[in-house]
Amino acid sequence: MKKTLLFIFSVFLVSTASAQIGKGQKYFGGSLYVNYDRDGNTTNYTFPTGTTVYTQRNLLNLNISPEFGFFLNNHWALGIQPGYSRISGTEISSFYSDTNTTQNFTTTHDYHTDYVGLTVNLRYYWMLSDKVGIFPQFGVSSSHVLNDFTNGGLSIGGGPNLVFFPTQKLGVNMGFGNASYNYNYRSGNTVLNLSLSNTFTFGLNYYWGGK
């Protein structure tokens, strides 16, 4: 009975421990995103001689982004985040002639594109309690097609995040919405994005070190 009470008490201490963030602390974490759509999508294109049915299947969107950071003082933290992503799928194009069925044909093509990138993030932690806080995050990132570094883009932006510390050293991050400026290296095109409702991110950070 005493051992059981001691165990419960130990768990209570861990679960109610205050988050330890501040100057001298470091953190490691990141994010993993995987989306797979087997059925994909289909689009019909009508021409005077017939119809082309274009289908994309087995669509994979994968992103791996580990992050290491350190606190400059009790509120500001600087993070470095390399990243890798892959976009792949299968394209199926079928042409159906309206006049001569012998002209019907189907082509199938598997494709993939690999990207690498690097992001520098700056956070400002504002703790609302010992376990819950918010941190606006501002970042600058550059990404490139792995086998063609002239094909890529620059992104500058940020957004609000909520952090919850279930234990003293583990932080659960939830981001919602972002604003960004994106520049394409090859085309020179620029795009401004502002989203407050349809962008959600989730991540885990492990904190250690200290004053």
Residue type at position 135: F
pLDDT beyond 70 at 8:
no
CB 125 within 8 A of CB 163: yes
Task: Output the six-digit token pair for 25.
Answer: 């602390």
pLDDT of res. 117: 96
Domain count across the chain: 1
Q: How confident is the model at residue 57 (pLDDT cuts 50, 70, 90)?
A: very high
Q: How confident is the model at residue 198 (pLDDT cuts 50, 70, 90)?
A: low
pTM: 0.72
CATH number, position 84: 2.40.160.20
What is the per-residue pLDDT across 124-182, written as a single tens digit (0 to 9) for each?
999 999 899 999 999 999 999 998 988 999 999 999 999 999 998 999 988 888 889 99
What is the per-residue pLDDT across 20-37, written as a single tens digit (0 to 9) for each?
688 889 999 988 888 999
**Structural domain of 127:** 2-209
Q: What is the Cα–Cα distance from 69 to 191, expressed in whole angstroms?
A: 28
